């Protein structure tokens, strides 16, 4: 790989931010780009257990929902976006086992149809002040525990996904004199400081691929 090819690859790496956060589509695109830049060696990725991928999944779900609704109602995405977002927030998440609306507000969403079908006011219902007190207690105690349970469900699902993902990875031993690009991502204290540090290193002894290394040969 010559200097120009490396600079092109470096530019592409900078646009993808960190390799640990690449999804499958981005990994395939990266492989295609790397092949275009005459990188002949295999590229390996390890899934970072700290990467939950929920934002990525949410965007995919939202795009699929909007695409179907646009086809059904023959209108624009902007018109359907609020309804699609509300539907997502009020539907139980497969990973956390709770719907986002409940985890935020401490109760399920009340739809206009629910108000129409609601029975007449029950005189045995506790007064407003007592109802508010009960709701506050529910938020501070029961909801807190349920949020912890939701986080535990997410972490358990992440570990399961990581185990499934890493089953297909093979340990690769690199030979002496091979080169690799290492990208370290750190939290920035100063906005003007770079958040990524990139370096090239030459393998001096047989070693395995690190989680932040990209072998470019």
| pLDDT for position 140 | 78
- pLDDT range class, residue 149, cuts 50, 70, 90: very high
- Cβ 161 vs Cβ 47: under 8 Å: yes
88 and 152 in a single domain? The answer is yes
Write the CB contacts of 70 (distance below 8 Å, at least 6 apart in sequence).
Answer: 76, 77, 80
What are the tens digits of pLDDT across the range 131-144?
A: 788 878 777 788 88
61 and 38 in a single domain? The answer is no
10 and 39 in a single domain? The answer is yes
Compute the average pLDDT of residues 166-190: 62
96 and 187 in a single domain? The answer is no
The SS3 of residue 15 is: helix
Confidence check: pLDDT of 215 > 50: no
In this predicted structure, which of 60-64, 91-95, 133-137 has the lowest mean pLDDT?
Answer: 133-137
User: For residue 188, what are the domain limits?
Assistant: 3-46+169-215
Residue 215, H or E segment = strand 213-215
58 and 158 in a single domain? The answer is yes
| pTM (predicted TM-score) | 0.49
155 and 59 in a single domain? The answer is yes
160 and 62 in a single domain? The answer is yes
């Amino acid at each position: 790989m010559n200097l120009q090819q490396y600079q092109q690859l470096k530019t592409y790496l900078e646009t993808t931010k960190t390799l640990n956060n690449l999804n499958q589509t981005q990994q395939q695109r990266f492989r295609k780009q790397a092949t275009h830049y005459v990188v002949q060696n295999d590229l390996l990725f390890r899934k970072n257990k700290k990467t939950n991928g929920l934002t990525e999944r949410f965007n995919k779900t939202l795009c699929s929902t909007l695409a179907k609704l646009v086809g059904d109602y023959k209108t624009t995405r902007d018109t359907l976006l609020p309804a699609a977002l509300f539907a997502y927030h009020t539907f139980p998440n497969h990973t956390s086992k709770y719907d986002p609306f409940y985890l935020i507000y401490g109760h399920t969403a009340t739809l206009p149809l629910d108000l129409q079908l609601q029975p007449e006011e029950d005189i045995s219902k506790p007064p407003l002040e007592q109802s508010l007190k009960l709701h506050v207690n529910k938020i501070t105690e029961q909801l807190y525990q349920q949020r912890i349970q939701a986080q535990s469900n997410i972490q358990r699902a992440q570990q399961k996904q990581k185990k499934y993902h890493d089953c297909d990875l093979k340990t690769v031993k690199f030979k002496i004199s091979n080169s690799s690009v290492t990208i370290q991502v750190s939290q920035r204290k100063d906005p003007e400081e770079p958040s990524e540090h990139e370096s090239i290193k030459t393998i001096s002894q047989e070693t395995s691929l690190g989680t932040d290394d990209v072998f470019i040969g």
